[in-house]
């Protein structure tokens, strides 16, 4: 955390309320062995464009939270060294605070069961651009859809806000310009997405929805079973217990639960699309 005060760090990471107290307690003393191992893992991944989350069985969830907090200023400085605006860096690092709040909603306590997802953020190659997040990876890590492409943008969908076609159009257009400007030696023309929202069942049941319009942008390459994803991302519940207690107030909630009621299994759709030309202004 050298070079940044704690209040500035928490503002950068959008850490609020009770989570700020939990995080502050982790930073009161020097990191222990587990946190140091997690920090070393994050340091080894910075700037090398990994496509997968970090894994380390001998580190606890708490070790990873502490490591993410301590390493975030390093990532912020790395972003700035590339010329990336501070607000663009802050927009993706704010996922730390968001995921702490999600963990509190899901589990009712301080913690971060999505710590592995956030290790991607700490590698410095994922950014929030408008409505969507984009993850720059090598083409050989992008699956069949990336065949022949040296670099690919993985697309992720934050939970906040809608998916109107206009917002999505703007996000893709801005992403092309962003990566062309700040990573000019890593030309990208292909984006890929792995999401339960690309499960064809969802578009069939809600054909006029913004989710269906989003899914139709992609050429579907394959599907794989992911029975819990639709429940987690719709209701923020881990596991498949007590589904009868979940609300059925929206059409999406009803579709997610009725498929399971009928004995069906939700899947991940794996798809790709061609990005719009960057036409970036480098002036």
State how far the Cα of 150 lies from the Cα of 30, in Å rounded to an integer.
41
Whether residue 45 has pLDDT greater than 90: yes
Q: What DSSP element (H or E) covers 166?
A: helix 165-182
Model pLDDT for residues 117-145, shown as the tens digit of each residue? 999 999 999 999 999 999 999 987 766 55
Distances (CA, A) of 216 to 159, 188, 203, 219, 229: 19, 21, 8, 7, 20
Contacts of 133 (CB under 8 A, 6+ apart): 92, 126, 127, 155, 156, 157, 158
The contacts of residue 246 (CB under 8 Å, 6+ apart) are 231, 235, 237, 253, 257
pTM: 0.92
Q: How confident is the model at residue 102 (pLDDT cuts 50, 70, 90)?
A: very high
Predicted local distance difference test score (pLDDT) of residue 283 = 36
Between the alpha carbon of residue 156 and those of residues 31, 183, 193, the distances in Å are 31, 19, 7
Work out the angle at residue 29's Cα, subtended by the Cα atoms of residues 26 and 30, and round it to the nearest 5 degrees: 105
Residue 282, pLDDT > 60, answer no
Q: How far apart are CA 151 and CA 147, in angstroms?
A: 10
| Mean predicted confidence (pLDDT) in 254-261 | 95
**pLDDT tens column, 171-214:** 999 999 999 999 999 999 999 999 999 999 999 999 999 999 99
Tokens 């997802």 sit at which residue? 117
Which pLDDT band, with edges at 50, 70 and 90, does 160 fall under?
confident
Q: What is the DSSP string of 98-161?
A: HHHHHHHHHHSSS--TTHHHHHHHTTT-EEEETTEEEEEEEGGGS-GGGTT-SEEEEEE--SSS
Note the pLDDT tens digit of each residue in 230-239: 999 999 999 9
Percentage of residues in the chain with pLDDT exceeding 90? 89
Structure confidence at residue 3 (pLDDT): 73
pLDDT exceeds 80 at position 25? yes
The chain-wide mean pLDDT, for the chain, equals 93
Q: Which domains does the chain have, with CATH numbers?
A: 1-124 (no CATH), 196-271 (3.40.630.120)
Distance CA 262, CA 257 (A): 9
Across residues 155-183, what is the average pLDDT?
95
The reported pLDDT for the residue numbered 90 is 98
Asked whether 9 and 69 are in contact (CB, 8 A), the reply is yes
pLDDT the model gives residue 159: 87
% of the chain exceeding 70 in pLDDT: 95
pLDDT category at 280 given cuts 50, 70, 90 is very low
């Amino acid at each position: 955390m050298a070079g940044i005060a704690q209040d500035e760090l928490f503002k950068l990471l959008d850490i609020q309320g009770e989570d700020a107290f939990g995080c502050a307690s982790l930073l009161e003393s020097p990191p222990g062995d587990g946190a140091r191992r997690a920090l070393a893992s994050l340091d080894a991944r910075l700037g090398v464009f990994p496509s997968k989350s970090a894994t380390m069985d001998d580190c606890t969830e708490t070790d990873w939270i502490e490591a993410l907090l301590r390493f975030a200023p390093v990532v912020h400085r790395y972003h700035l060294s590339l010329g990336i605006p501070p607000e663009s860096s802050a927009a993706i690092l704010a996922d730390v605070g968001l995921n702490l709040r999600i963990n509190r909603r899901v589990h009712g306590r301080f913690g971060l069961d999505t710590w592995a997802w956030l290790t991607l953020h700490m590698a410095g190659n994922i950014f929030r651009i408008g409505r969507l997040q984009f993850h720059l990876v090598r083409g050989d890590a992008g699956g069949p859809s990336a065949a022949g492409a040296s670099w690919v943008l993985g697309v992720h969908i934050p939970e906040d806000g809608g998916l109107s076609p206009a917002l999505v159009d703007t996000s893709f257009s801005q992403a092309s310009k962003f990566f062309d400007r700040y990573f000019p030696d890593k030309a990208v023309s292909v984006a890929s997405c792995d999401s339960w929202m690309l499960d064809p069942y969802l578009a069939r049941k809600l054909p006029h929805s913004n989710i269906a319009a989003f899914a139709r942008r992609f050429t579907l390459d394959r599907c794989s079973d992911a029975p819990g994803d639709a429940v987690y991302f719709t209701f923020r519940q881990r596991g498949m217990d007590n589904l009868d207690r979940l609300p059925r107030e929206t059409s999406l909630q009803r579709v997610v639960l009725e498929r399971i009621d009928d004995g069906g299994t939700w899947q991940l759709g794996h798809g790709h699309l061609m990005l719009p030309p960057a036409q970036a202004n480098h002036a």
